[in-house]
Structure 1
Amino acid sequence: MKKVLYCFVALVLLVIAGVGTLINYLAPETESERMVDQSTVRQLDSGEVIGFTSNDVSTWLGIPYAASPVGELRWKAPRPAKRWQNQKQALHFGEPCMQRSSGHEVIGNEDCLFINIWSPSGADGKSPQGLPVMFWIHGGGNSTGQAGISLYDGSYISQKHNLVIVSINYRVGPFGWFYHSALQAEGVSPEDASGNFGTLDIIQALKWVNRNIAQFGGNPNNVTVYGESAGGFNTLSMMASPLAKGLFHRAISQSGGLDIHSVERAENYKDAAEPGHIFSSKEVVNLALIQRGLAADREAAKRHQDGMNADELEKFMRSLNAKEIIDLYSSTEGSMLGSPALFGDGYVLPAGRNGAEMFTDADNYNAVPIILGSNRDETKTMMAFSDDSVDRTFGYPTGFNNLPRYNRKSYYSSALWKIFGVDDLANTMTAAQGYNVYAYRFDVDDLRDLGFLDFRDLFGAAHALEIPFVFGNFSKFLRVLLPDSMQSEFDKVSDQMMSYWAEFAYSGSPGKGRASELADWKPWSKEHPSALRLMVFDTESDAGTRMVSDQLSIEDLQQRLLADTTFKSEAVYCAVYNRLFTGADYFAPENLKAAQYDCSQYPPNEGWVLID
């Protein structure tokens, strides 16, 4: 099962790599001149801030929640923000963390740990209880992304449902997750030694919220952590980390899952007895030694690295500037660096458990009410820009040479995402913590038809397309993907999602939404096959938003593939089979009885570039 999970995560990372291409036009908007509003002055534990007000929402952007993680603080757990003396104007987003853009340039700054807040005007902390807080974690494969884009503007849902919305930057890529024994000198704290610096950034931001959010009208005892893609993974990591206990009270994972790398995979050479990742810390140091001219090739770099003591290695690694470090990952796809993230160090994150097995005992994780969801066509986000079924001109999709093959690949890979990101987790958590687990699938696919290319075929209900519905921010999506003629229906689905999300933040159950007028969203059920357990979000032009009984297991998916007679060749069929299933059990004769082809002799397939 763990091998299947690794295949799933590899697939997820490939899909996420396409997100930057799909929404690269969602860069931070040019900010208009903003005027400070004296009613937004707030006294924090690190100093005084002032924000601005627009459309009955007060906003504060770019507040430091931790000390700048530069110099000696690179590759260390975040420290508390330093106090400032004068009033700080919080009118603009802070810089993104260091990363590669979709155009392959290195952007951002190591000084990037900022928090943003939207709160209904007049919510000033004087209320004895305060408003629910929703704490957004952006996606981007844990190697790219930022909070400061228009898509994540929290003002609309804040005003509409009387919520305090928070978003954060956190360190990504090798600045966020980097585990090397040379950084673990005697006396180093368990947090500094963990390598999970991005995870610790999120925990530090939650601690900041706990101390300060009442000043913005928020209730520190009612915090919902939510995020999409890598943000969904990181949301689940908050449930897994003992250090986040008590800092949040509900969770929403949109297109998430959980994959915890071992420290051996994070550090070891790729040809070690227990192999490391191709971009493990030791392999990256090898690349740096070659880049600096201290070794001619990988074998020479290994010898050189093994001959250095811990002090020499640490000094060498810290001598690299941020751009040099990111450039070491230049062979990866798109803006994703492909570096491992989330390490089972045994302190920040548990060791020896992964995926759903992390949540088998509610006493061993932060069990809170949770919503788990996926999009019906998750993997089309990546496939649109990489699959050989799609014709491309100058890198952009222009049509299909085999649409049935394209849809078939998307079905199987997206179903795998739902299994590991929703159904398996929902079944396990329901058994562990009871009936406060909820699940959804996003099916909205009413996209623009360009004539030569129908976006409904190309993307469908693809990865990340639910985000504008959750925030109510459609402006830039409308110009490219969503037809104007469907806007009223999109608005209705968006209103439904925001209402359910808000009610969940208030009560821990999405129920019938904030106004108690929507379909009753029932908890996940693992006992009864016909029970209504999954909320489907869709437009009325299709089947509408409704509860269904759908659930899927890896065994179900295997049986569907075994019975699939649409493949034209054994090679393609077995490439798909081996991509979805690894391990001897899946190739046992009794498990292959219904297969039209014998795949037991084919090597595992590493990708989805198939010829049919």
Structure 2
Amino acid sequence: MNRRQVLSGLSAIALSSAVPPVSAADATVTVKTVAGPVIGQVKNGAVVFLGLRYGETTAPPHRFQPPRKPVAWTQPVLADTYGPASPQGSNPDSYGKSEDCLFLNVWTPEASTKTKRPVMVYLHGGAYSNGSGSHAEYDGTNLSLHGDVVVVTINHRLNAFGYLYLARLERQITGKAGPLALSGNCGQLDIILALEWVRDNIAQFGGDPGNVMAFGQSGGGAKIATMMATPAAKGLFHKAATMSGQQVTASGPGNATLRAKAFLAALNLKPDADGLAAVQTLPWEQLVTALKATDPVLGGGVYMGPVLDETHLFRHPFYPDAAPQSRNMPMIIGNTLNETKGFQVNNPEFQNLTWEALAEKLPPNYRVDIDPYLVIDTYRKLYPQMTPTDIYFAATTAGRSWRGAVIEAEERAKVGAKTFVYQANWQSPKDGGKYGAPHAVEIPLVFRNTAVPSAVTTDSEGARKMADLFSDAFIAFARTGSPQTAALPKWTPYSLPNRETMLMDLPPKLANDPRGAERRLFDKVPFVQAGT
């Protein structure tokens, strides 16, 4: 299940909810970047630059190869429209899909070098397969103006275009490493190139290149966790915040090669020289269709994500420990109380479950190998009032979504890395409250975009109060490395055995080891990251 499917489960995302292009009639501001001058617009009080090119096209003959910096230009380029998204099966917005997709967007209170503001770079969700940086909930206007910060969102290569691992096949066929050596991590390389763009240019937009916070939800958080163990990303961002997005381990090269073969087979290609040549030149639409290939490891659609390729990524992000290169970086790790309701609450298959059906539904959805009857018995003792459906969503959240966050926080605590952990407890009132605190609930809160039609939060008074709590905490973290605000209780960093966790609710509360009995239940079995 990916973020696009999550959002479709919460409410249909109409194209009209996308932020419209800024009219050229609005006041304009010209900024000179390293590559050339760009023209932004003053919109609702912020200076907005949409569709800034940070890399050249990745279409053939550059498919599956590292990104390239943009060719310099001299005439000012009007930055008034989002760039296209990476090719994908879904329709993320109204701005199209293309292999020429390396674009980013900037919102700033003032595009000048007079003030150095914290920079907040957002990585979108959608696992590693779908999405773009132009969704209406990611519009940075409110966050930028409220926090006096510079906000950046980006597009990068996804699914096969960003993560199809062809390096081993290439080496088997040619006997040596070649241009596809980094194919399994091209999406990560794109993000790194975007962060290099921020380093080299953001001062001209009022940002401080020495104070960059990377934050992301779901797949966006996983991308950040991966970069925290990636040598090429070192020094490009200085703080990290992940919302329901963990990456304990990356895909191994063996499994990634199995997936590459399955993907080629779906294209009627053999894993030989001819097949390798063909996949680099076929129309991208054919590659998107082949993403329906069955994953030979997980089942379901074929998984694409970062690969332990020993060329770009040399270790797993949080195995066997927290990567040393990012231990000095402050981090926020958060999850929601009812993660899997965001995925499945509208699916009739998971409504009105019986106790007998519950035992069958749990194992494939909490994704760890533990006796479902033990899980059911434990939850019935802990929460006697829960129905089978209640237990289904609680247990799948604890085993599938929350577990990776616990591991990351524990590994950082073991080495004294400053980590602030939260649990989003606030229950959305949408549709009678049936979603609870679902996956993705924090996005419109952090961005202060609760009025966007697709927001699961609604634009209720409670949602706006929660937006104050969340956005102010993230802004404080971007500015100081601590999410502490006057509206929050004292937020003590996560430690063992206390496991300090801020329960984000009205009112917020700091708790030690919340849901500890659930944590201990799933601690007894190994956690395997999906994709690994």
Say if 2:8 is the partner of 1:25: no
- In structure 2, relative to structure 1, the CA distance for the partners of 1:549 and 1:581 (3 Å cut) is closer
* Residue number among 427, 433, 436 corresponding to 1:460 in the alignment: 436
- In structure 2, relative to structure 1, the CA distance for the partners of 1:264 and 1:98 (3 Å cut) is same
Contact 2:181 2:311 in 1 (8 A): no
User: For residue 374 of structure 2, what is the aligned residue in structure 1?
Assistant: none
- In structure 2, relative to structure 1, the CA distance for the partners of 1:445 and 1:332 (3 Å cut) is farther
User: For residue 505 of structure 2, what is the aligned residue in structure 1?
Assistant: 538
* Residue number among 259, 266, 283 corresponding to 1:287 in the alignment: 266
Query: C-alpha displacement at 1:166, in angstroms?
Result: 0.4
Contact 1:446 1:482 in 2 (8 A): yes
CA distance in 2, matches of 1:216, 1:106: 24
Contact 2:182 2:312 in 1 (8 A): no
**CA deviation profile, 1:391-441 (whole Å, cap 9, x unmatched):** 8xxxxxxxxxxx82221111011112454332221121122243x210001
Contact 1:98 1:106 in 2 (8 A): no
User: For residue 62 of structure 1, what is the aligned residue in structure 2?
Assistant: 51
User: For residue 144 of structure 2, what is the aligned residue in structure 1?
Assistant: 158
CA distance in 2, matches of 1:550, 1:251: 22
- Amino acid of the structure 2 residue aligned with 1:347: T
- Amino acid of the structure 1 residue aligned with 2:430: R
- In structure 2, relative to structure 1, the CA distance for the partners of 1:550 and 1:476 (3 Å cut) is same
- Amino acid of the structure 1 residue aligned with 2:419: V
User: For residue 519 of structure 1, what is the aligned residue in structure 2?
Assistant: 489
User: For residue 399 of structure 1, what is the aligned residue in structure 2?
Assistant: none
Query: C-alpha displacement at 1:518, in angstroms?
Result: 3.4
Query: C-alpha displacement at 1:376, in angstroms?
Result: 0.5
Contact 1:20 1:102 in 2 (8 A): no
- In structure 2, relative to structure 1, the CA distance for the partners of 1:205 and 1:192 (3 Å cut) is farther
Say if 2:469 is the partner of 1:499: no
Q: Percent identity?
A: 27
CA distance in 2, matches of 1:536, 1:187: 52
Contact 2:321 2:411 in 1 (8 A): no
User: For residue 254 of structure 2, what is the aligned residue in structure 1?
Assistant: 264
Query: C-alpha displacement at 1:187, in angstroms?
Result: 7.6
- In structure 2, relative to structure 1, the CA distance for the partners of 1:481 and 1:438 (3 Å cut) is closer
User: For residue 573 of structure 1, what is the aligned residue in structure 2?
Assistant: none
Say if 2:395 is the partner of 1:412: yes
CA distance in 2, matches of 1:431, 1:558: 17
* Residue number among 116, 120, 124 corresponding to 2:112 in the alignment: 124
Unaligned regions of 5+ residues in structure 1, if any? Answer: 1-12, 269-279, 291-304, 392-402, 562-579, 587-605, 607-612
* Residue number among 209, 225, 245 corresponding to 2:214 in the alignment: 225
Contact 2:450 2:458 in 1 (8 A): no
* Residue number among 275, 280, 283 corresponding to 1:318 in the alignment: 280
Other structure's SS at 2:490 match:
coil
User: For residue 274 of structure 1, what is the aligned residue in structure 2?
Assistant: none
CA distance in 2, matches of 1:41, 1:192: 39
Say if 2:136 is the partner of 1:147: no
User: For residue 446 of structure 2, what is the aligned residue in structure 1?
Assistant: 470
Query: Map of 1:114-513 to 2, 5 A cutoff?
Result: 114-121=103-110, 123-127=111-115, 130-180=116-166, 181-183=168-170, 192-258=181-247, 259-268=249-258, 280-289=259-268, 305=270, 308=272, 310=273, 312-330=274-292, 337-351=301-315, 353=316, 355-359=318-322, 362=324, 364-365=325-326, 367-386=328-347, 388-390=349-351, 404-417=387-400, 419-434=402-417, 436-449=418-431, 454=432, 456-457=433-434, 459-477=435-453, 481-482=456-457, 487-512=460-485
Contact 1:503 1:509 in 2 (8 A): yes
- Amino acid of the structure 2 residue aligned with 1:287: A
CA distance in 1, matches of 2:319, 2:461: 38
- In structure 2, relative to structure 1, the CA distance for the partners of 1:581 and 1:410 (3 Å cut) is farther
Contact 1:440 1:535 in 2 (8 A): yes
Other structure's SS at 2:228 match:
helix
Contact 2:5 2:343 in 1 (8 A): yes
TM, length-normalised to structure 1:
0.73
User: For residue 112 of structure 1, what is the aligned residue in structure 2?
Assistant: 101
- Amino acid of the structure 1 residue aligned with 2:250: I
Unaligned regions of 5+ residues in structure 2, if any? Answer: 353-385
CA distance in 1, matches of 2:136, 2:3: 22
Other structure's SS at 1:534 match:
strand
Contact 1:194 1:347 in 2 (8 A): no
Query: C-alpha displacement at 1:26, in angstroms?
Result: 5.5
User: For residue 597 of structure 1, what is the aligned residue in structure 2?
Assistant: none
Query: C-alpha displacement at 1:481, in angstroms?
Result: 4.9
Query: Map of 1:553-564 to 2, 5 A cutoff?
Result: 556-557=517-518, 560=521
Query: C-alpha displacement at 1:386, in angstroms?
Result: 3.6
Contact 1:373 1:421 in 2 (8 A): no
User: For residue 87 of structure 1, what is the aligned residue in structure 2?
Assistant: 76
Contact 2:195 2:237 in 1 (8 A): yes
Query: Map of 1:577-588 to 2, 5 A cutoff?
Result: none
Contact 1:65 1:113 in 2 (8 A): yes
CA distance in 1, matches of 2:170, 2:512: 50
Other structure's SS at 1:235 match:
helix
Query: C-alpha displacement at 1:281, in angstroms?
Result: 0.7
CA distance in 2, matches of 1:379, 1:492: 24
- Amino acid of the structure 2 residue aligned with 1:281: A
Bigger-Rg structure (1/2):
1
Query: C-alpha displacement at 1:141, in angstroms?
Result: 1.3
Other structure's SS at 2:494 match:
coil
User: For residue 370 of structure 2, what is the aligned residue in structure 1?
Assistant: none
User: For residue 296 of structure 1, what is the aligned residue in structure 2?
Assistant: none
Query: C-alpha displacement at 1:85, in angstroms?
Result: 2.9
Contact 1:133 1:224 in 2 (8 A): yes
- Amino acid of the structure 2 residue aligned with 1:503: A
TM, length-normalised to structure 2:
0.84
- Amino acid of the structure 1 residue aligned with 2:76: Q
CA distance in 1, matches of 2:294, 2:451: 32
- In structure 2, relative to structure 1, the CA distance for the partners of 1:26 and 1:443 (3 Å cut) is farther
* Residue number among 513, 516, 526 corresponding to 1:550 in the alignment: 513
Query: C-alpha displacement at 1:14, in angstroms?
Result: 6.5
